Amino acid sequence: MLKIYIAINILISFFNPDVNDDTINKIPPKKEIVKLTKEAIDLLHESNFEKSFAASRLALNYSIASKNDNLAAKSYNIIGANYEKMSEYDLAILNYNKGIVYAEKAKNDTIKNYIYNNLGNIYWFNKKDTEKGISFLKDALHFVETNKDSTKIVLIKLNITWAYFAVGSYSQGIDHLKFLNKYNNKFGGDSNAVIINMLNGMYAGSLGKKSESKAFFEKGIEIGKRTDNIEDLSYLYQQYSKYLYSKNDYKNAYQYLVLYSTLTKQLEDSENLKRAKSVGINFEVDEYKRKIDSITALNFLQLESLKKSKIIVLLFVIVLVILLLQMFTLYKNFLFKKKSNQDLMESNAELVEAKEMADESSRLKTQFVSTITHELRTPLYGIVGITNMLLDEHKELENSTHLNSLKFSARYLLSLINDVLQINKFEENKIVLEDSIFNIADEIDLIINSLLFIAKNNNNKVTTELDPEIPELLLGDKLRFSQILINLLSNALKFTRNGTVVISAKMVRIEGQTYFIEFQIKDNGIGIAQEDQIKIFDKFTQVGRKNLDYQGTGLGLSIVKKLLELFDSTIVIESELGVGTTFAFTIGFDYDKEKIENIINDAEFDSSKGNALSVLVVDDNAINRMVTKKIIEKLNYKCVVLESGKEAIELLTTDKFDVILMDINMPEMNGFETTKIIRSMGIMTPIIALTAFSKDEVVEESKLVGMNDIIVKPFESPELYKMINIIIANE
């Protein structure tokens, strides 16, 4: 009905030229018109579009009547901005272009610059014409840079960056983003913070920096919620949802898509927006009236002769046409909304299905890795054990190339299995640092000795430089620290021929009871090219294999990086081809003398009963039984081996043992079931789980059934000796 009313008013004004806007006959002074335009701008910033439209329309009427091109340009700019806020983009562009005409007449480059910026935003953001939008924005940027207006430079560069990033042109937008990161706090302020964090998140995501991208997006969300910046927050939710979807994080992508839809609907349902549309249309009536007035001056005498009956017929026809167009438009909108809702429902269903498939894929992957590693560790236990037996029983074979090669190959395969498990644990966030006492110097010596075979093969020398200020004993996760050094040192030795590798540890600072130590592993090997220095920390990435075969999976440095993140640390690399490479990192270890002494006292045990201990081994694998028995007898313990849980239960009804080593994965009755029955019989003999599974996979169930500890195959005899005696001492 509103459009019908507009049409009738237009026709009445057309046939009644004496009807003029009273405001034009009473033109206020320029000072009042300027005040009116300022009021319209303030109302626009407050999202009071209805009053802003009314004020800007009145200011435009006065400006045109007083032939003030400068104020007319300002008024058209404000009206265009109101239409833009209401999503009437074609009308906004129309009024912005009118504003440019009046700005050029008034030779007012400042207003023209504002309008260029607004047109640029509409074309790239709403009309999806990025090339045209950026062209307008660059025109605006050229003007503000010439006039050194820092605040407006920040605003326009923000819009240009957003436009480039929206179409994936990160290389063209990155320089503008760097400028924003550097100068926004000084010239832009908090109003741009949500969008700038969104842009940084998009750029980090394009580089594959997942954690950095997530941090920027979440910081932007926090600022948007705190400042109640609904419009910018909705854009950030939309971009974050797209990024998560691209990373196959369908669940969170869907959640942020819902948040984006909610905020968008909230903005669209604004009452001010609805009322403003009617006021905006009244402005169009004024425009029509101005055009019609010029026509009526030429045709007044002819139009006077038209009969009222013809006017009524013409009005009726026009109203009927408008009604039909209105009905057709409503029908088209209904079909469009129906299709949009259907598309959204289908997209949601696809997201849910994709999430379920991703969860199932993750579960199957974990199960597969667990099964494969168990099946590989079981024969490896036999290989390593039999190799050690041969070396112990036949001292003349100690320098046998074949036997040592066999042992090295088995340990290399075990290392590969451990690397795969480590990556799997990182992806499932299952790794937690543990505290233990250790001596850094001793630990480094052990690591060097374990890698001497690589050093000898490549004719390398390993030296150490340790700061005497480092305490003798420290608290920290010795195992994870050792993994870091082993990976870095083995890499240095593999990629160096006839050279020297230096391991250094230097105290850098002390904070309370935490001693921060910088470690460096420096070699004079082949070096790493500049373009490869970022790639080497990706999983399964290997560089420098042109003419030489360097063994490895490409997992070592990826594991190092993730382990250092657990220590709240990062790794730094300096390298030059043909000169060498230096890796450096800093870790904080605790030094608490009293706590260290308590742990040492708790760990002490009496091994005097060693020769009297009797051990029962239950394992279905014949080779493993033989290897385990040899290890136990080497410790001067008595040993009985059985191949099933059923046999163990029968034997324990008559015989007693000091310790039971129970294999977990056995047919008919597994180790958990056997242990549960043994405990139900009232037998409290210490039971150590003997397994090829990862310790994390079985620790919970082993505690539930009453097992005392877990040892993972393959293991060394000192490790078993220590575990048995600690358990016996605590009985």
pLDDT band at residue 406 under the 50/70/90 scheme: low
pLDDT of residue 23: 42
Question: Does residue 169 sit within a domain?
Answer: no
Question: Does residue 578 sit within a domain?
Answer: yes
pLDDT of residue 415: 58
Contacts (Cβ under 8 Å, ≥6 apart) of 247: 205, 210
Question: Does residue 99 sit within a domain?
Answer: no
Query: What percent of the chain stands above pLDDT 90?
Result: 24
Residue 685: give its domain's CATH number: 3.40.50.2300
Question: Does residue 437 sit within a domain?
Answer: yes
> Is the domain of 618 the same as that of 676?
yes
pLDDT of residue 19: 37
Question: Cα(first)–Cα(last) distance of the chain, in Å?
Answer: 91
Q: In what order do the strands lie in the sheet with 659-663?
A: 638-642, 614-618, 659-663, 687-691, 709-712
Asked if 61 contacts 23 with a C-beta cutoff of 8 angstroms, the reply is: yes
Question: Does residue 124 sit within a domain?
Answer: no
- Output 602 or 328, whichever has higher pLDDT: 328
pLDDT of residue 254: 85
> Is the domain of 681 the same as that of 584?
no
Residue 545: give its domain's CATH number: 3.30.565.10
> Is the domain of 665 the same as that of 706?
yes
> Is the domain of 652 the same as that of 530?
no
Question: Does residue 447 sit within a domain?
Answer: yes
Question: Does residue 106 sit within a domain?
Answer: no
> Is the domain of 618 the same as that of 587?
no
pLDDT of residue 605: 43
Mean pLDDT of 419-428: 58
Mean pLDDT of 83-101: 88
pLDDT at 130 over 50: yes
pLDDT band at residue 646 under the 50/70/90 scheme: very high
Q: Which residue, of 269, 290, 319, is where some domain finishes?
A: 269
> Is the domain of 521 the same as that of 610?
no
Mapped to the 3 state alphabet, what secondary structure does 635-655 carry? Answer: CCCEEEEECCHHHHHHHHCCC
In the three-class reduction of DSSP (H, G, I as helix; E, B as strand; rest coil), residue 434 is classed as: coil
pLDDT at 170 over 70: yes
From 668, 62, 692, select the one nearest 383 (Cα to Cα).
692
Residue spans of alpha helices (H) in 228-307: 230-246, 250-268, 271-304
Model pLDDT for residues 278-333, shown as the tens digit of each residue? 455 455 545 545 544 544 444 444 555 555 667 787 888 898 899 888 888 888 88
pLDDT of residue 192: 85
Q: State the residue range of the domain holding 247.
A: 189-269
pLDDT of residue 677: 95
Picking from 54-68, 416-430, 631-645, 693-707, which range would have the lowest pLDDT averaged per residue? 416-430
> Is the domain of 570 the same as that of 615?
no
CA distance 249 to 244: 5
pLDDT at 633 over 70: yes
Rounded to the nearest integer, the mean pLDDT of the chain is 80
Rg of the Cα atoms in the chain: 39
pLDDT at 16 over 60: no
pLDDT of residue 111: 87
Question: Does residue 679 sit within a domain?
Answer: yes
> Is the domain of 660 the same as that of 549?
no
pLDDT of residue 10: 43
> Is the domain of 500 the same as that of 552?
yes
pLDDT of residue 380: 63
pLDDT of residue 3: 42
Strands (E), 305-419: none
pTM beyond 0.95, yes or no: no
CA distance 707 to 662: 9
List, as one string, the DSSP characters of 574-638.
EEETTTEEEEEEEEEEE--HHHHHHHHHHH----TTGGG-EEEEE-S-HHHHHHHHHHHHHTT-E
Picking from 180-194, 605-619, 706-720, which range would have the lowest pLDDT averaged per residue? 605-619
Model pLDDT for residues 536-563, shown as the tens digit of each residue? 877 545 555 444 444 454 556 888 888 8
Number of structural domains in the chain? 3
Asked if 679 contacts 652 with a C-beta cutoff of 8 angstroms, the reply is: no
Model pLDDT for residues 3-13, shown as the tens digit of each residue? 443 444 444 44
Phi, psi of 680, deg, nearest 5? -70, -20
> Is the domain of 502 the same as that of 642?
no
pLDDT of residue 572: 93
Asked if 649 contacts 678 with a C-beta cutoff of 8 angstroms, the reply is: yes
> Is the domain of 655 the same as that of 676?
yes
Q: Which residue, of 546, 561, 596, is where some domain finishes?
A: 596
Q: How is residue 372 written in tokens?
A: 């494969």
CA distance 278 to 331: 21
Asked if 505 contacts 465 with a C-beta cutoff of 8 angstroms, the reply is: yes
Model pLDDT for residues 568-590, shown as the tens digit of each residue? 999 999 999 989 999 999 999 99
> Is the domain of 440 the same as that of 530?
yes
- Output 651 or 184, whichever has higher pLDDT: 651
Q: How is residue 123 written in tokens?
A: 């074309």
Mean pLDDT of 245-263: 86
Q: Which residue, of 243, 269, 295, is where some domain finishes?
A: 269
Residue 28 carries which DSSP code?
P
